Structure 1
Amino acid sequence: MSSAATESPVLEVPWGEVWGQPEAVRMLQAAASDDAASSHAWLITGPPGSGRSTLAYAFAAALIAEPGDEAAMRQVLAHTHPDLSALRTEQVVIRIEEARQLVERAYYAPSTGRHRVIVVEDADRMAERTSNVLLKALEEPPERTVWILCAPSDADLLPTIRSRVRTVRLREPEVDDVARLIALRTGADAEVAEQAARHAQRHIGMARRLATDADARARRDETLRSVLTVRGIGDAVEVAARIVQVATDDAKALTAERDAAERADLLRTVGVAEGAAVPPAVRSQLNALADEQKRRATRSLRDGIDRALTDLQSLFRDVVMLQYGRADGLINAELAGELSAVADRWSPQRTIAVLDQLALTRRNLERNVAPLLAIESLLITVASGRTP
């Protein structure tokens, strides 16, 4: 049994939601209790789903609230405390205007708390120009202001940023530990929770979704099985279109309800009754909201395609494992028969060529290549073993 499964749970506010990271919790608890030993800027790194943001807000609560002030701590955890500023982009990148606004707030003195805390959840989504906006605030930190940046790894940030932060690296939990957590939090039966944790590759948020959404599990299974049927260019084009359509539909489902609620809230705030004509003075606000929602939809679509690529990566990772005689530890154990057939039919070099093309597809998408073209190119490699 792994250490995460045997460790004593941390239950006190604000650390109660932090799971499986006892070393990081101990470090940040000590820093929050000793201002002299604490740093003015922190970077929390770890794989997606490891709990970077959860830990960041727990640390923020401990920094802002006086010891034992659970009401203030819960305010921070709810993102409503006046001394907390947070940035979580729902767009492809963090805009430079958002970074400038955050830096301005960093120079305000705390209003009620011990510190003012700035949390940037997606620091890896800052372009170099945007990162340089933060750099000055990190070089000349305001008194009693603490920055907490979150990113998958420190390599995702500029060296000039990395040199000015103290890094906390989170560990990746084991599949069995994630499965137990998901079963506990969602009520899913043990078999579904284990499959979800394995398919999500230990990403806690994705494992929760797979465990509680049968449609999401079915879509994932359909995507992987359809890729295994690709034999030629016609198949590649058809399956690529299906993958992009599934990601598009998923993104719309995730954002449509929220978009409608935001529009209704805005109209209610400015005093426009439901169904009434929108005054010209309000239209600019609605247009600005629509633009923001479009950017969020683009991010949601990119995230959906990235999840599909992660699933495909796990598929061909399993094929390589089988080609080298490792049948244990398959991520997609339910497809063992189909994967064994591919492993027998292909050479290891062909499988590695597909994995290389997967990595190239990710880079192309980051450069704004059209998703459909990028996926088609990937699946042509799957069909032929050769890069188009």
Structure 2
Amino acid sequence: MTDPYAELVGQASAVEAVAAAARDAHRADGGLGVMTHAWLITGPPGSGRSNLAYAFATALLAETADDPAAAAQEEARTRAQVDARTHPDLAVLASDRVTITIEEVRRLVTASQYSPSVARYRVMVVEDADRMSERTSNVLLKALEEPPERTVWILCAPSEADLLPTIRSRVRVVRLRVPEPAQVAELLVQRDGVDAALALRAAEEAQSHIGMAHRLATDAEARSRRDDSIRLVLETDTVPKAVRGAARLLDIAKADSTALTQEREEAERGKALASMGVEPGAAVPPQLRGVLRQLEEDQKRRATRGLRDGVDRVLVDLLSVYRDVLMAQLGAGLPLVNAAWASEIAALAARTKPASTLKVLDAIADARRRLPANVPPLLALEAMLVSAVLERAA
């Protein structure tokens, strides 16, 4: 049986913390062990927050057995249910919206009051807990203050600062770190059979984001889109080019977002039709069309978030390029994130100053902050590129 924590590369201390807690939670006499009932898993994007949360949930939900073979079989069965999100004692809140709504949290809080049906604990996982407003967070806070004895909450967020202080004071924090690119590359080689050199380049360019590294290593079109965005920015040297370039960057982000969501949306529609007994290609009866309309509305909301995430991915790539430019200007001697662009980065570093590069980095960071504030992505990209051109000419 595979290790449920195998994909959490470079996270030995975090894995040991939750694994030890899960072991202590199951006492040999069948009673309840000493258990913290609210957890917060923090870490940068791609570090494996949700992977750790579901591995922890599996350990809590799987029944223990004296026979090693029986214990392994039970864990494998529970893992399959957790992976499919079908375990009766697991509840998950993973919103496709830009923010988690108060109604979603209220439903989850209500579900948390039920006693477990087959496992020793009932586990509530909240992905992206940082997407809750203050009012929504206060609904969750009430549930964390007095949780039922057999309910365990597992929240995931980039950092503790993304949650209310009152919530932070009621959770045990497990912090994930950024793994080394070589560790991510090794995972890609062993798990996905990727060529070692390609795996290392993908891990470096993804800045150790495991999911993004996997995409770059296994999807030639994703690599091509990333190269296009970097080439465009490096070649943009006038304001008119910046305006046109912003539109092109938005198109790249849309293509990347569509590539991520299209397959999922088609699978969701097929599953919905199958559950209603509608054959592929057959007309949907009028009385069932409301279900599909709701699915389509959910997918549209997801597309809004997906586009913002796609633009943010482009901006993160550009941050890495100008980070490399600054390192070259300062003679820091640190490895480049974008080694394949070393000559272009050296040329830009030679004809600009560190102060200008810092201002461009600030402009890119400003663009990232504007996206969640509902600034149109095209305007955010235009402002960023125009600033980059002006600083390059200064």
TM range (shorter): over 0.9
Match of 2:204 in 1: 198
Q: Distance in 1 between matches of 2:359 and 2:274?
A: 55
Q: Distance in 2 between matches of 1:55 and 1:173?
A: 14
Asked if residue 109 in structure 1 is aligned to residue 99 in structure 2, the reply is no
Q: Distance in 1 between matches of 2:9 and 2:98?
A: 28
Asked if residue 216 in structure 1 is aligned to residue 222 in structure 2, the reply is yes
Q: Distance in 2 between matches of 1:16 and 1:89?
A: 26
Helix, strand or coil for the counterpart of 2:190? helix
Helix, strand or coil for the counterpart of 1:168? strand
1:18: Cα distance to partner?
A: 3.5
Where does 1:205-354 land on structure 2 (aligned, <5 Å)? 205-354=211-360
Q: Distance in 2 between matches of 1:188 and 1:132?
A: 45
Are the counterparts in 2 of residues 15 and 58 from structure 1 also a CA contact under 8 Å?
A: yes
Are the counterparts in 2 of residues 13 and 73 from structure 1 also a CA contact under 8 Å?
A: no
Q: Distance in 2 between matches of 1:369 and 1:313?
A: 19
Q: Distance in 2 between matches of 1:169 and 1:272?
A: 46
1:43 to 40, 43, 46: 40
Q: Distance in 2 between matches of 1:74 and 1:335?
A: 42
1:13: Cα distance to partner?
A: 5.2
The superposition leaves residues 170-199 of structure 1 with CA deviations (integer Å, 9 ceiling, x where unpaired) of: 121111111111111221211111100000
Match of 1:7 in 2: none
Are the counterparts in 2 of residues 309 and 358 from structure 1 also a CA contact under 8 Å?
A: yes
Moved over 6 A (4+): none
Match of 1:59 in 2: 56
1:15 to 5, 15, 26: 5
Helix, strand or coil for the counterpart of 1:147? strand
1:272: Cα distance to partner?
A: 3.8
Task: State which drifts further: 109-118 or 260-269.
Answer: 260-269
Task: State which drifts further: 181-190 or 191-200.
Answer: 181-190
Helix, strand or coil for the counterpart of 2:173? strand
Are the counterparts in 1 of residues 242 and 389 from structure 2 also a CA contact under 8 Å?
A: yes
Match of 2:361 in 1: 355
Match of 1:6 in 2: none
Normalised to the residue count of structure 2, the TM-score between the two structures is: 0.91
Match of 1:123 in 2: 129
The residue identity in structure 1 corresponding to 2:19 is Q
Are the counterparts in 2 of residues 192 and 211 from structure 1 also a CA contact under 8 Å?
A: yes
Are the counterparts in 2 of residues 58 and 77 from structure 1 also a CA contact under 8 Å?
A: no
Q: Distance in 1 between matches of 2:325 and 2:60?
A: 47
Are the counterparts in 1 of residues 8 and 47 from structure 2 also a CA contact under 8 Å?
A: no
Task: State which drifts further: 252-261 or 118-127.
Answer: 252-261
Asked if residue 150 in structure 1 is aligned to residue 144 in structure 2, the reply is no
Match of 1:27 in 2: 17
Match of 2:99 in 1: 93
The total of aligned residue pairs comes to: 377
The residue identity in structure 2 corresponding to 1:23 is S
Q: Distance in 1 between matches of 2:180 and 2:201?
A: 13
Helix, strand or coil for the counterpart of 2:174? strand
Task: State which drifts further: 216-225 or 369-378.
Answer: 216-225
The residue identity in structure 2 corresponding to 1:232 is T
Are the counterparts in 1 of residues 7 and 187 from structure 2 also a CA contact under 8 Å?
A: no
1:117: Cα distance to partner?
A: 0.2
Match of 1:8 in 2: none
Helix, strand or coil for the counterpart of 1:146? strand
Are the counterparts in 2 of residues 61 and 74 from structure 1 also a CA contact under 8 Å?
A: no
Q: Distance in 2 between matches of 1:261 and 1:319?
A: 42
Normalised to the residue count of structure 1, the TM-score between the two structures is: 0.92
Are the counterparts in 2 of residues 14 and 77 from structure 1 also a CA contact under 8 Å?
A: no
Are the counterparts in 2 of residues 14 and 74 from structure 1 also a CA contact under 8 Å?
A: no
Q: Distance in 1 between matches of 2:119 and 2:340?
A: 52
Asked if residue 139 in structure 1 is aligned to residue 116 in structure 2, the reply is no
Alignment CA distance shift 1:20-1:302 (3 Å): same
Ranges in structure 1 where 5+ consecutive residues have no aligned partner: 1-10
Ranges in structure 2 where 5+ consecutive residues have no aligned partner: 26-32, 65-70
Helix, strand or coil for the counterpart of 1:376? helix
